[in-house]
């Protein structure tokens, strides 16, 4: 089944690809730069409206899984324009971002791996399809995505390729594609492939190159969130991952104090496993086991609180949330927070969220638990940060989509109408950013 996905058969290709992934997994144990108009016009050769239905079927099997059909120069320009548009490096506009740092390491690696090239092009074309509302760019994105999925299935069945950096990179990129394009069969999200691959490859791969290390920095937040959602321990809780040092590379988009971010992500990675183990405690659990878990969790509480004090004291307390008077009627809290920047806002709100989860996990094991007032204070702080995150772009939206449901779960019912309204608001923003596909 090849070509533009207009039939059920093409969806079957994706379903077969899942089987390939499951077969692969069974072998192991789970552990704003303006875009060139000329490129947009020439992109129609990849394909044009008239040629789209014939381009891929006309290829021979050998070519079908080869390099993208664009010329090398055009491919490179598409990717470079995408990365520089998303994360410009100008001193006055540079946005601190782990994802941006990783993407800037991507263009030099093009041309060596079909699966990576196709995956990168799918994300880049999807970005320009959204930016310009261009159906030709969207068609290119969808064709690149299908080529990438087929190439990835082939690579996962190849013992020499399945654990390569290109395969992991392509998996992560396709996950981003599926976040922004409303794909009916989101294979990468369904398979949970990135975390699985990282676990199989091992922490030692992060030391091999700046590309590998920056990919780890860009992926770890999503991997921790995925573990939290699944109710299973996170692969990043193991000693080998926890011992990866901070600051192995320097890049303009990385934060100036990498140790602070490295520490808190390390703490976050411990929480899914602790939550899972503590939830399994019952009347038959020995006191020794219960106390050991409780002591570990309480030490993590102290470590996280200490981190927060150190983080907010940096830069002459500029990172500390600053309370201002609310600007809307019917606002149920005493004030709202503004932050020094998007990075500070998102990492602090994530801290509030994960500490709530930890406190809630400890409560059933600790008869003397006195964290109820702290937990409600953290939930209130999340809500007071909502308006700032509303104007903090994609990162702010994603952070609030994690944090607000957690706050909602611990706040009194009096606040529930407000929190539901804001959760719906952030969901609507995310929905509005998604691209409706032509064929999927």
What pLDDT digit, counting tens, does each position of 275-304 carry? Answer: 999 999 988 989 999 999 999 999 999 999
> What pLDDT shows up at residue 89?
82
CA distance 435 to 431: 9
The b-or-e profile of 154-174 (16+ CB within 10 A means b, else e) is bbbeeeebbbbbbbbbbbbbb
Distances (CA, A) of 341 to 200, 279, 314: 36, 36, 13
Q: Report the 10 Å Cβ neighbour count for 300.
A: 18
Average confidence (pLDDT) over 53-75 = 46
Give yes or no: residues 93 and 178 share one domain: yes
Is residue 266 situated within a structural domain?
Answer: yes
CA distance 83 to 78: 9
Q: Is 279 helix (H, G, I), strand (E, B) or coil?
A: helix
Is residue 248 situated within a structural domain?
Answer: no
Q: Among 66-80, 164-178, 210-224, which stretch is predicted with the lowest mean pLDDT?
A: 66-80
Average confidence (pLDDT) over 226-234 = 91
**Do the beta carbons of residue 11 and residue 184 sit within 8 Å?**
yes
> What pLDDT shows up at residue 439?
59
Give yes or no: residues 300 and 366 share one domain: yes
Cis, peptide link before residue 47, omega less than 30° from 0: yes
**Do the beta carbons of residue 3 and residue 51 sit within 8 Å?**
no
Q: Is 181 helix (H, G, I), strand (E, B) or coil?
A: strand
DSSP character for 47? S
pLDDT band of 178, cuts 50, 70, 90: confident
Average confidence (pLDDT) over 47-51 = 37
**Do the beta carbons of residue 118 and residue 151 sit within 8 Å?**
yes
The structural domain count of the chain equals 2
Give yes or no: residues 190 and 272 share one domain: no
> What pLDDT shows up at residue 200?
92
Percent of the chain with pLDDT over 70: 79
pLDDT band of 51, cuts 50, 70, 90: very low
Terminal alpha carbon distance of the chain:
14
Q: Report the 10 Å Cβ neighbour count for 222.
A: 17
Q: At what angle do helices 210-230 and 258-279 cross, to 10 degrees?
A: 30
CA-based R_g, the chain, Å: 23
Give yes or no: residues 171 and 304 share one domain: no
**Do the beta carbons of residue 235 and residue 224 sit within 8 Å?**
no
Is residue 154 situated within a structural domain?
Answer: yes
SS3 of the chain: helix, strand, coil, percent, to 5:
70, 0, 30
- Per-residue tokens: 370: 């006195």
pLDDT band of 440, cuts 50, 70, 90: low
> What pLDDT shows up at residue 183?
66
Give yes or no: residues 196 and 53 share one domain: yes
Give yes or no: residues 164 and 288 share one domain: no
**Do the beta carbons of residue 343 and residue 396 sit within 8 Å?**
no
The whole domain housing 423 covers: 258-431
Give yes or no: residues 42 and 155 share one domain: yes
CA distance 161 to 168: 10
pLDDT band of 367, cuts 50, 70, 90: low
CA distance 397 to 188: 22
Q: Report the 10 Å Cβ neighbour count for 354.
A: 27
Give yes or no: residues 179 and 322 share one domain: no
> What pLDDT shows up at residue 415?
97
Q: Which sign does the torsion angle of CA 223, 225, 229, 234 carry?
A: positive
Q: Is the pLDDT of residue 45 over 70?
A: no
Is residue 220 situated within a structural domain?
Answer: no
Q: Is the pLDDT of residue 34 over 90?
A: no
Q: What is the mean pLDDT of the chain?
A: 82
Average confidence (pLDDT) over 204-226 = 93
Give yes or no: residues 171 and 298 share one domain: no
Domain C-terminal end among 201, 220, 239 = 201
Is residue 181 situated within a structural domain?
Answer: yes
> What pLDDT shows up at residue 431?
85
Instruction: Please list the residues that pair with 181 across neighbouring strands.
Output: 435
Give yes or no: residues 129 and 278 share one domain: no
Give yes or no: residues 65 and 144 share one domain: yes
CA distance 354 to 304: 9
**Do the beta carbons of residue 252 and residue 93 sit within 8 Å?**
no
Is residue 132 situated within a structural domain?
Answer: yes
Give yes or no: residues 290 and 187 share one domain: no
CA distance 194 to 369: 37
Angle ∠(184,65,145) on CA atoms, nearest 5: 25
Is residue 218 situated within a structural domain?
Answer: no
> What pLDDT shows up at residue 4?
31
Q: Is the pLDDT of residue 325 over 50?
A: yes
> In 114-168, which ranges are E strands?
none
> What pLDDT shows up at residue 182?
72
Angle ∠(329,332,337) on CA atoms, nearest 5: 90
Instruction: Please list the residues that pair with 337 across neighbouring strands.
Output: 323
Is residue 240 situated within a structural domain?
Answer: no
């Amino acid at each position: 089944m090849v070509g533009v996905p207009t039939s059920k058969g093409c969806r079957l290709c994706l379903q077969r690809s899942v089987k390939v992934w499951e077969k692969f997994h069974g072998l192991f144990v789970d552990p704003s730069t303006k875009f060139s108009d000329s490129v947009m016009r020439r992109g129609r050769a990849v394909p044009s409206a008239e040629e789209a239905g014939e381009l891929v079927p006309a290829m021979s099997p050998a070519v079908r899984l080869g390099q993208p059909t664009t010329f090398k120069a055009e491919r490179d320009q598409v990717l470079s324009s995408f990365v520089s548009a998303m994360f410009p490096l100008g001193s006055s506009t540079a946005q601190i971002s782990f994802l941006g740092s990783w993407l800037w390491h991507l263009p030099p690696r093009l041309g060596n791996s079909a699966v990576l090239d196709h995956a990168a092009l799918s994300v880049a074309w999807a970005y320009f399809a959204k930016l310009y509302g261009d159906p030709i760019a969207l068609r290119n994105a969808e064709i690149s995505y299908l080529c990438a999925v087929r190439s990835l299935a082939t690579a996962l069945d190849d013992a020499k390729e399945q654990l390569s950096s290109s395969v992991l990179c392509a998996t992560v990129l396709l996950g981003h594609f599926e976040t922004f394009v409303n794909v009916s069969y989101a294979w990468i999200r369904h398979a949970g492939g990135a975390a699985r691959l990282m676990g199989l490859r091992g922490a030692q791969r992060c030391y091999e190159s700046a590309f590998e290390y920056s990919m780890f920095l860009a992926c770890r937040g999503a991997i921790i969130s995925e573990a939290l959602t699944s109710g299973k321990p996170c692969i990043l809780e193991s000693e080998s991952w926890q011992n990866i040092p901070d600051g192995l590379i320097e890049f303009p988009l990385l934060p100036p104090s990498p140790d602070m971010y490295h520490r808190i992500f390390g703490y976050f990675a411990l929480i899914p496993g602790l939550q899972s183990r503590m939830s399994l405690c019952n009347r038959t659990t020995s006191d020794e086991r219960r106390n050991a878990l409780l002591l570990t969790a309480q030490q993590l509480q102290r470590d996280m609180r200490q981190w927060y004090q150190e983080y907010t004291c940096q830069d002459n307390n500029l990172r500390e949330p600053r309370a201002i008077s609310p600007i809307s009627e019917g606002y149920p809290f005493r004030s709202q927070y503004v932050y020094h920047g998007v990075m500070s806002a998102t990492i602090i709100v994530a801290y509030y969220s994960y500490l709530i989860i930890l406190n809630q996990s400890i409560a059933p094991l600790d008869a003397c638990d006195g964290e109820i007032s702290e937990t409600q204070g953290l939930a209130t702080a999340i809500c007071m940060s909502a308006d700032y995150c509303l104007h903090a772009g994609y990162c702010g939206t994603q952070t609030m989509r994690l944090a607000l449901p957690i706050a909602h779960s611990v706040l009194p019912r009096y606040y529930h109408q407000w929190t539901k309204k804001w959760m719906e608001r952030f969901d609507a923003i995310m929905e509005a950013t998604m691209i409706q596909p032509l064929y999927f």
